[in-house]
Amino acid sequence: MSSAGFAESSNARTRVSAALFRRPWLRAGLLLSGPLSWFVLIYLAALAILFISSLWSVESFTGNLVHSWTLDNFKTLFEVPAYRTIALRTIGIAAAVTVTDAVLAVPFAFYAARIAPRRLQSALFVAVLIPLWSSYLVRVYVWRLILAKEGVLNWTLGQIGLGSLNIGYSNWAMWIVFSYIWLPFMILPIWSAIERVPDSYIEASADLGARSWRTFRSVLFPLILPGIAAGSIFTFSLTLGDYITPTLVGGAGSDFIGNVVYQNVGVASNVPFAAAFATVPLVVMGIYLLIARRLGAFEAL
């Protein structure tokens, strides 16, 4: 390239950047257009299509789509008690898993962030992350083998003379497996929240005569609550949307909203009804996010 050409192109570049500098809206528009069109096209449009198809119906015998507006799907959803049971079961187990994970994660994160020596800290961090390297399916199948009637759990209990448990293929099994699988997503935000609490706060609390429980309740807990709320968004939403764990380790009457959606799309070919039911977790999650925002979860992320 000749020096004249270089000067020319650098000139043009200067002019473009000057123009952009003078028009901040244009600059912002260009910067945002990529992510924004992605958001609108991939995310909002998909949601819109979901919502539209929930207002369609299918011909009962051939299963072909009928493209005329109807609210029948939502009516079925509210009128058939089985769907209410399934929705409540899904939300209930998601809540139970969230509470379990929070109870397990707080002491662990506290130890890892404040008590453990430096080298152990890194080891613990890796230990939390390593399960995420293996496939979700592998981990669920392993639990299926552990909890089976003639599985590892009952064998161990038998060896130490404690009889046997019959929790394979049940809601208990789902609760255990979900709590195990999503635990890292709860530990990490709480860990970082605890790390951010200055040592001086704890010391000041002790200086003022507070015992450790009082310090935890009045100083530490309010400060890490946003972290717990942030972690709960993960554990709650991930459980809410899952259908693989209920299929693999659930028993009779362990269907989740996701299972009904899957059966209606993949088996019964009733996409409109699946879409209608899929709006339920959307609404639940919307409400949950609003509450989480009140608790300051988004500042903690």
Binding footprint of another protein on the chain (CB under 8 A): 40, 44-45, 47-49, 51-52, 55, 60-65, 67-68, 80-83, 85-86, 145, 148-151, 166, 168-169, 247, 250-253, 255, 260, 265-269, 286, 289-290, 293, 298-299, 301
For another protein, give the closer residue by CB, 51 or 216.
51
Q: Which amino acid is at 94?
A: A
Name the 3-class secondary structure at 58.
strand
Work out how close the CB of 162 gets to another protein at its nearest, in angstroms, rounded to a whole number: 18
29 or 253: whose CB is closer to another protein? 253
Please classify residue 5 by burial: count the beta carbons closer than 10 Å to its beta carbon, then call 0-12 exposed, 13-18 middle and 19+ buried. exposed
Q: How far is the CB of 86 from another protein (least distance, A)?
A: 5
- Smallest distance from the beta carbon of 204 to another protein, in angstroms? 28
CB 300 within 8 A of CB 97: no
Q: Which is nearer to another protein, 198 or 286 (CB)?
A: 286
68 vs 200, beta carbon nearer another protein: 68
Question: Nearest Cα to 228, choosing from 286, 275, 285, 185?
Answer: 185
Closest contact distance (angstroms) between CB of 215 and another protein is 29
Residues 26-53: b if buried by 16+ CB within 10 A, e if exposed: eeeeeeeeeeeeeeeeeeeeeeeebeeb
Nearest in space to 238 (alpha carbons), one of 278, 204, 281: 281
Specify the residue, 118 or 294, whose C-beta has the smaller distance to another protein. 294
Rg, the chain, Cα only: 26
Q: What minimum distance in Å lies between the beta carbon of 29 and another protein?
A: 16
Question: Closest CB to another protein among 110 and 246?
Answer: 246
Q: What are residue 66's DSSP bridge partners? A: 57
Nearer to another protein, 40 or 162 (CB): 40
Select 86 or 188, whichever has its Cβ closest to another protein.
86
Angle of helix 221-240 relative to helix 171-196, nearest 10 degrees, comes to 140
Q: Among residues 140, 138, 168, 137, which one has the least CA distance to residue 152?
A: 168
At its nearest, how many Å lie between another protein and the CB of residue 10? Answer: 37
- What is the DSSP annotation of 2-33? -HHHHHHHHHHHHHHHHHHHH-HHHHHHHHHH
State residue 165 phi and psi, 5-degree precision: -105, 145
Q: Give least dist CB 32 to another protein, A.
A: 13
Strands (E), the chain: 57-58, 65-66
